[in-house]
């Protein structure tokens, strides 16, 4: 699959024209950035966490994004309730297993979500994806330190075992359903200087998955557009604070021509 076979500009245009409702049960550290980046991509964010309303909110949404960043047991219950409703409605679920491998609660919760729900896309760093695939990995807090083995093989293993698309974000992003493998080379090192850029990547994937049934194409499109915005933002920034501001502007301002010439997707 090369760049030409994924209609990046077309998928982004569909997000902007349909304004899908993206239901996030997410991380309180990054919730504002996640809501803003969803808006900049063209989606409509809603942050509904209470068990009393998650099923009702999923009833109106086009995608459900689950993020384990600031985790507590009752939140997992809400995620399972929302996830079952999403599966009933056949809308995609995107999971961000933040910090999996760092604590038993995170690892156990992520495995339970994968076991009890049908999840379309799992996006994490190399250590998080490797941990879920049963590959030895070292994580410090929520940052990937090392992976014992081939990260591509770990992603393929997780995708095959869970019947999902596994996404590892890094210097070059990896997207695989176990058979197809796509690499996205867009992005900039400044993206690692601001908290929440991983959570934001998952949100952008959610917005694309809301309008594109091919989860590989949705994830690759999201990461290419988001990474390209990161490159453009870095050119205009003096440091992490101005970078975050310019990242919003750059993503919202991406043009069809800019996407066609700027994305770097390879198979």
Cα dihedral across residues 182, 11, 215, 213: positive or negative = negative
Q: How many domains does the chain have?
A: 1
Judged against a pLDDT cut of 80, whether residue 216 lies above it is answered with yes
Q: Residue 174 is encoded by which pair of tokens?
A: 């990896």
Q: What is the CATH number of the domain that holds 15?
A: 3.40.1190.20
d(Cα 214, Cα 130) in Å, to the nearest integer? 23
Identify the three-state secondary structure at position 184.
strand
SS3 content of the chain, % helix, strand, coil (to 5): 50, 20, 30
Q: Looking at the predicted structure, is the pLDDT value of residue 144 above 60?
A: no
DSSP string of 69-122?
Answer: TT--HHHHHHHHHHHHHHHHHT--EEEE-TTBTTBHHHHHHHHHHHHHS--SEE
Q: Which domain holds residue 22?
A: 3-266
Please provide the DSSP assignment of 113-173 as one string.
HHHHS--SEEEE-HHHHHHHTT--EEEETTEEEEESS-HHHHHHHHHHHHTSEEEE-SSSE
Is 137 a residue whose pLDDT tops 50?
Answer: yes
Q: Residue range 262-267: average pLDDT?
A: 93
Tokens 């990046």 belong to residue: 8
- In this structure, the number of other CB atoms found within 10 A of the CB of residue 230 comes to 26
How far is it, in rounded angstroms, from Cα 43 to Cα 24? Answer: 12
> Tell me: the pLDDT tens digits for 32-43?
999 999 999 999
pLDDT digits (tens, 9 = 90+) for 223-263: 999 999 999 999 999 999 999 999 999 999 999 999 999 99
The mean predicted confidence, pLDDT, of the chain is 92
Whether residue 44 is predicted with pLDDT greater than 90 in this model: the reply is yes
pTM: 0.94
């Amino acid at each position: 699959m090369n760049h030409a076979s994924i209609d990046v500009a077309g998928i982004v245009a569909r997000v902007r024209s349909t304004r899908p409702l993206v239901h996030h049960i997410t991380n309180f550290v990054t919730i504002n950035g996640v809501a803003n980046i969803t808006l900049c991509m063209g989606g409509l964010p809603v942050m509904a966490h209470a068990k009393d309303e998650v099923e009702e909110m999923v009833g109106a949404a086009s995608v459900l994004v689950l993020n384990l960043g600031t985790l507590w047991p009752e939140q997992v219950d809400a995620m399972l309730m929302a996830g079952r409703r999403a599966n009933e409605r056949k809308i995609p679920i995107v999971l961000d297993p933040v910090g999996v491998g760092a604590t038993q609660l995170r690892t156990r919760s992520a495995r339970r979500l994968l076991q009890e729900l049908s999840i379309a896309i799992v996006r994490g760093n190399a250590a998080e994806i490797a941990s879920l695939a049963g590959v030895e990995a070292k994580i410090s807090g929520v940052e990937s330190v090392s992976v014992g083995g081939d990260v591509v093989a770990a992603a393929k293993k997780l995708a095959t075992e869970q019947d999902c698309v596994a996404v590892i974000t890094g210097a070059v992003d990896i997207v695989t359903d176990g058979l197809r493998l796509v690499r996205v080379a867009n992005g900039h090192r400044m993206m690692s200087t601001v908290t929440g850029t991983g959570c934001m990547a998952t949100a952008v994937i959610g917005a694309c998955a809301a309008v594109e049934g091919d989860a590989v194409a949705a994830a690759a499109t999201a990461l290419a557009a988001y990474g390209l915005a990161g490159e453009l933002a870095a050119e205009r920034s003096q440091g992490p604070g101005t970078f975050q501001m310019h990242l919003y502007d750059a993503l919202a301002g991406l043009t069809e021509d800019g996407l066609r010439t700027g994305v770097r997707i390879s198979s």
